[in-house]
Amino acid sequence: MFDVPRGQCVLDILGLGNDAEQVYRLLLSHPRWGVAQLVDHLATDEDTVRAALDELFDLALLRHSSEREGELRAVSPTVGLQSLLARQQADVEHRMQRIAAGQAAVAALLAEYSDRPATEEAVEAERVIGPDAIQNRLEELGQSLREELLSIVPSVPSAAAVEAARQNNAELVARRVTIRTTLHDSARRDPNAAGYAKSLTDAGTEVRTAPLLPPRMLIFDRSIAVVPIDPGNTAQGILQLSGRGVVASLVTLYEQVWRTAVPLGAAARAVDGITPVQRELLQLLAQGHTDSSAATRLGMSERTCRRAMAELMERLGARSRFEAGLLAAREGWI
């Protein structure tokens, strides 16, 4: 027999991934914690925590195979070890991809700024930073508005912002300005969002909802657009854009979203037997999104997302996601 390598020695060498180790320690010290608490405590995303749990399961397969516990069948150590190795490799590749993506983004930024005169930015794009400055700017833009305001509101703003928007909207409608607002589909389920949507329609705004929205935007008279500087962190401030090309593109994007959106009061419609949400889910997964990032973009839980996927697979009679993808493409759903 061997002198040295027993299962756990090999594991010492391989080690758990950093995330898996942290999750493991937390699970031992806080046995009642669930995925949500782990995500919170580690300030990480759900994918990371779930990948760590997968890794712990691989470890469990390994440990309990070497001990042949109870009536459980022994799993060849290669199965668990291969999973661990594959994950370490994927981890390295993921980091390299992030570095490459970072380099590409920096290169693109440098290229953009180097061949553009500094003055042009001041004319066509202006940054407004700070809550008061933003509120003042939006009021100014509202006052000079003549015909139409288009807005995309992916998540319901704070109560104060809602009240301010309601008053502004009522004044604009009184001045015969047309207002069209697109909210996320989740506004149909969330009571706060539903209240916001109702106050909009009461004020005379046309409201629709869509399953997938671009970041927040406001378009004034099809000539000025306002978007967040960083959609992931709206506190950073806003960007006021007046370049014709940029605004025209945003208006086109808006109209596309509006066409597929469903008026508030009408039920979300099913096209070709699949719901708009299922269609968006298929498209996001086809683009390479993970379950949890697709779920986030669709404003649903990962569990609901998986359930929708299982329903789709049942409908298509698919036995794997790969097959489901092929069949969905054949149906023209992707």
Partner 1 sequence: MRLARISLAPRHDAAAGVDAAALVDATWAAVRPGDPVEHVVARAVPDGFEVGVFLQSADIPAGRDTARALMSRVLANSPTMRQWRIVADADVPLDSLHHGG
Of the candidate residues 14, 45, 63, 331, the single one contacting partner 1 (CB under 8 A):
63
Question: Contact between 10 and partner 1 (CB under 8 A)?
Answer: no
**Distance (Å) of CA 10 to CA 58, 69, 187:** 14, 20, 51
- State which residue, 75 or 141, has the beta carbon closest to partner 1: 75
Residue among 3, 12, 115, 272 that touches partner 1 (CB under 8 A):
12
Residues from 40 through 59 that contact partner 1 (CB under 8 A): 50, 53-54, 56-59
- Does 64 engage in binding with partner 1 (CB under 8 A)? yes
Nearest-Å Rg of the Cα atoms of the chain is: 25
State which of positions 119-158 bind partner 1 (CB under 8 A).
Answer: none
| Cα–Cα distance, 289 to 303 (Å, whole number) | 15
CB of 279 to partner 1, least distance (A): 18
33 near partner 1, rule: CB under 8 A: yes
Selected binder of partner 1 within 3, 71, 115, 272 (CB under 8 A): 71
Q: Does 327 engage in binding with partner 1 (CB under 8 A)?
A: no
CA–CA distances in Å: residue 332 to residues 54, 90, 271, 275, 283: 34, 32, 11, 14, 11
* DSSP strand pairing (125-128 vs 206-210): unpaired
Nearest CA-CA partner of 267 in 182, 197, 152, 189: 189
Sign of CA dihedral 40, 41, 44, 50: negative
Contact 283, 334 (CB under 8 A): yes
The contact mask relative to partner 1 for 280-319 (x = CB under 8 A, - = no) is: -----------------------x--xx-xxx-xx---xx
Amino acid symbol at 89: Q
- Under rule CB under 8 A, which residues in 85-114 are in contact with partner 1? none
Interface residues toward partner 1, by CB under 8 A = 8, 11-12, 24, 27-28, 31-35, 50, 53-54, 56-61, 63-64, 69-73, 75-76, 79-80, 83, 303, 306-307, 309-311, 313-314, 318-322
